[in-house]
Amino acid sequence: MAVKIRLQRVGATNQPKYRMVVAEDSTKRDGRFVEILGNYDPKNKIEGKQLAVNLERAAYWVGVGAQPSDTARTLINRARREAAKVAAPAKA
């Protein structure tokens, strides 16, 4: 059973929203999934509201062999950078 981390579209027409899910590679794009890792709303321009990813679970799935899609990999890296910004204290 090969698993992938990929995006699943859930938004209405002209209002795209996506879930980042772990799913078997043989399932349909919007089909069954194993776990939801987060969500992505590309039209939301409010900082901090566009992307939400559970980085601990994403790291676990990558550690056990799940292959992220190109877009999922990019979004996970962006979420890591945002988390590092929040965690780092601001220099005066």
Query: Using CA atoms, how far apart are residues 59 and 69, in angstroms rounded to an integer?
Result: 14
64: containing domain: 3-87
pLDDT of residue 60: 95
Whether 80 maps to a domain, the answer reads yes
Number of domains the chain contains: 1
pTM to 2 decimal places: 0.85
Pairing of strands 3-9, 67-68: parallel
Q: Which stretch of DSSP H or E encloses residue 92?
A: none
> Going by C-beta distance under 8 Å and a sequence separation of 6 or more, which residues neighbour residue 41?
11, 17, 18, 49, 50, 51
Please say whether the beta carbons of 5 and 69 come within 8 A. yes
pLDDT at residue 77 in the model: 94
Q: Is residue 12, in this structure, part of any structural domain at all?
A: yes
pLDDT, residue 90, reads 63
Tell me whether residue 92 is in a domain.
no
CATH of the domain at 29: 3.30.1320.10
Does residue 73 fall inside a structural domain? yes
Taking the chain (92 residues) in runs of 10, the rounded mean pLDDT of each run is 90 93 89 91 87 93 93 94 80 62
